[in-house]
Structure 1
């Protein structure tokens, strides 16, 4: 397995995975919108995307990170917003390899933390994250306001 920092050359592979990821979260398939969204992220350079491929360059999974900062610590943070492994590539260590790659990247960019959220019911993901050293945060209440 190899993990690449995504460029326009991998756009189509990531768009297909991103569309499947959205469907996993009960969104309608829209490959063209997925392609456009990822293309916009790459052009604006406002996210970092890593793609896992097998030895024949078949896409296995991806992870997308968004930058943020801690004002208190005055350091960079990364939000691991999206992690998806193709159904035919599951149980092969792809997600774990992507998480390890993210950890290395976070260290290389001198980040304070990598933060993520997952569905309360996603026990498999929570188990994986905890096995990789992620800890559930209970010290803060997080709030969201939907912009109207």
Structure 2
């Protein structure tokens, strides 16, 4: 399969919003393409995240979104791989790995020490994919959330 991975811009917003909506629905959120589109537009306009898009057959079929963080022990920038999604029709073709590889390359390009991510324990695909891509499971930490 012929594909390319490119850095997203506002020109990609409509297709990206559709993918982002599918991703959110996968995580049991209600579909809301317009609200997701506004969210992504704000991230792009304010340079608050970096998004890479997988393009195959002339259309966007996957993406990953990275947010900048800082690692307290390494005293360096790192990236949070917050979102990774490939449409079901294009899964199993190496696009997730290609998006992760592009994210690793982004670490090199931006002088970051690495990537971190979290996924649900029930995400069987992700929990198999990430170790295959060199991620190490961190069983030493508990992750907590506080929502307003």
Verify same fold: TM over 0.5: yes
State the Cα deviation string for residues 25-66 of structure 1 (Å, max 9, x = none): 111111110110110111111000000001x42111000000
Q: Does 1:42 align with 2:44?
A: yes
Report what 1:13 is aligned to: 15
Q: Does 1:143 align with 2:147?
A: no
SS of 2:111's partner is: coil
State the Cα deviation string for residues 58-81 of structure 1 (Å, max 9, x = none): 111000000000133220010000
SS of 1:138's partner is: coil
* Matches of 2:31 and 2:73, distance apart in 1: 40
* Matches of 1:71 and 1:119, distance apart in 2: 24
Equivalences, count: 146
TM-score (ref. length: structure 1): 0.94
Q: Which runs of 5+ in 1 are unaligned?
A: none
> Within 5 Å, which residues of 2 pair with 1:12-91?
12-54=14-56, 56-91=57-92
Q: Which runs of 5+ in 2 are unaligned?
A: none
* Matches of 1:30 and 1:145, distance apart in 2: 23
